[in-house]
Amino acid sequence: MNERVVVDPITRIEGHLRIEAEMDGQNIARAYSSGTMVRGIEIILRGRDPRDAWAYAQRICGVCTLVHGMASVRAVEDALKIPLPPNAQLIRNLMIGAQYIHDHVMHFYHLHALDWVDVVSALSADPAATSQLAQSISSWPKSSPGYFADVQKRIKNFVESGQLGIFANGYWGHPAYKLPPEANLMAVAHYLEALAWQREAAKLHAIFGGKNPHPNFVVGGVASPIDLNSDSAINSKKLAEVQDLIKSMQQFVDQVYVPDTLAIAGFYKDWAERGEGLGNFLCYGDMPEQGVLDESSFLFPRGAILNRDLSTIHDVDLHDDGQIQEFVSHSWYEYDDGPQAGLHPYKGETKLEYDGRGGVKPPYKHLDVGDGYSWLKSPRWNSESVEVGPLARMLLLYADSSAPAHAQAKELVDSSLSTLGLPIEALFSTLGRTAARTLESKIVADAMQTWYGNLIANIKAGDTKTFNETLWDPATWPAQARGAGYMEAPRGALGHWIVIENGKIANYQAVVPSTWNAGPRDPQGVPGAYEAALQDNTQLHDPKQPIEILRTIHSFDPCIACAVHVADPETGETIEIKVT
- Minimum Å gap between C-beta 300 and ligand NFE is 13
DSSP H or E segment with residue 43: helix 41-45
In the residue annotation, 374 being an active-site residue is answered as no
Work out whether 14 is an interface residue with ligand NFE (CB under 6 A).
Answer: yes
Of 333 and 451, which has the nearer Cβ to Mg ion? 333
70 forms part of the interface with ligand NFE (CB under 6 A): no
Annotated catalytic residue, options 112, 274, 330, 491: 491
Please tell me whether residue 513 binds ligand NFE under the rule CB under 6 A.
Answer: yes
Among residues 246, 417, 559, 566, the one that binds ligand NFE under rule CB under 6 A: 559
Catalytic residue among 437, 514, 551, 555: 514
What's the closest the beta carbon of residue 392 comes to ligand NFE, in angstroms? 12
Q: What span, in angstroms and rounded, lies between the C-alpha atoms of 223 and 478?
A: 25
213 cis-preceded (ω within 30 degrees of 0): yes
Q: Is the peptide bond before 523 cis (omega within 30 degrees of 0)?
A: no
Contact flag: residue 560 with Mg ion (CB under 5 A): no
Among 386, 494, 534, 540, binds ligand NFE (CB under 6 A): 494
Rg (CA), the chain: 23
At closest approach, how far in Å is the CB of 566 from Mg ion? 11
Q: End-to-end CA distance of the chain: give it in Å, rounded.
A: 15
- Specify the residue, 37 or 258, whose C-beta has the smaller distance to Mg ion: 37
| Stretch of 166-174, 342-350, 444-452, 512-520 lying at the interface with ligand NFE (CB under 6 A) | 512-520
**Looking at beta carbons only, is 122 or 532 nearer to ligand NFE?**
532
Backbone angles phi, psi at 342, to 5 degrees: -120, 135
Per DSSP, the chain holds a count of helices (H) and strands (E) of 17, 15
Q: Which of 38, 44, 63, 427 touches ligand NFE by CB under 6 A?
A: 63
Q: Using the Cα atoms of residue 158, residue 162, residue 165 and residue 171 in order, give the sign of their dihedral.
A: positive
562 catalytic residue (yes or no): yes
Q: Looking at 34, 61, 224, 440, which residue is catalytic?
A: 61
561 near ligand NFE, rule: CB under 6 A: yes
Nearer to ligand NFE, 121 or 331 (CB): 331
Note if 283 is an active site residue: no
A 10 A CB-CB count for 158 gives 18
Instruction: Residue 373: count other Cβ atoms within 10 Å of its Cβ.
Output: 25
18 a catalytic residue: no
Question: Which phi and psi angles does 231 have, rounded to 5°?
Answer: -75, -20
Which of these ranges, 59-67, 79-87, 320-328, 569-577, lies near ligand NFE under the rule CB under 6 A? Answer: 59-67
Residues 480-539 that bind Mg ion (CB under 5 A): 510
Among candidate residues 72, 107, 488, 559, the one labeled active-site is 559
Q: Are 453 and 78 within 8 A, CB to CB?
A: no
* Using rule CB under 6 A, residue 67 touches ligand NFE: yes
Count, residues near ligand NFE per rule CB under 6 A: 15
**Secondary structure string (H, E, C) spanning 328-355:** CCCCCCCCCCCCCCEECHHHCCCCCCEC
From 20, 64, 429, 531, the catalytic residue? 64
Q: Which residues of 393-410 are buried (b: 16+ CB within 10 A; e: fewer)?
A: bbbbbbbbeebbbbebbb
Question: In whole angstroms, how close is the CB of 149 to ligand NFE at the nearest point?
Answer: 37
SS3 13: coil
With 0-12 / 13-18 / 19 or more C-beta atoms within 10 angstroms meaning exposed / middle / buried, residue 91 is buried
Q: Is 489 one of the binding residues for ligand NFE (CB under 6 A)? A: yes
Integer Cα distance of 169 and 156 in angstroms = 16
Q: Is 68 a catalytic residue?
A: yes
- The answer to whether 181 touches 122, Cβ cutoff 8 Å, is yes
Q: Which does 562 bind (CB under 5 to 8 A by kind): ligand NFE, Mg ion, none?
A: ligand NFE
Q: Is 429 a catalytic residue?
A: no
- Count the residues in the chain: 580
Q: Which of 92, 274, 491, 565 binds ligand NFE (CB under 6 A)?
A: 491
DSSP at 110: I
List residues binding ligand NFE (CB under 6 A): 14, 61, 63-64, 67, 489-491, 494, 512-514, 559, 561-562
* Interface contacts to Mg ion, rule CB under 5 A: 510
Residues labelled as active-site residues: 14, 61, 64, 68, 491, 514, 559, 562
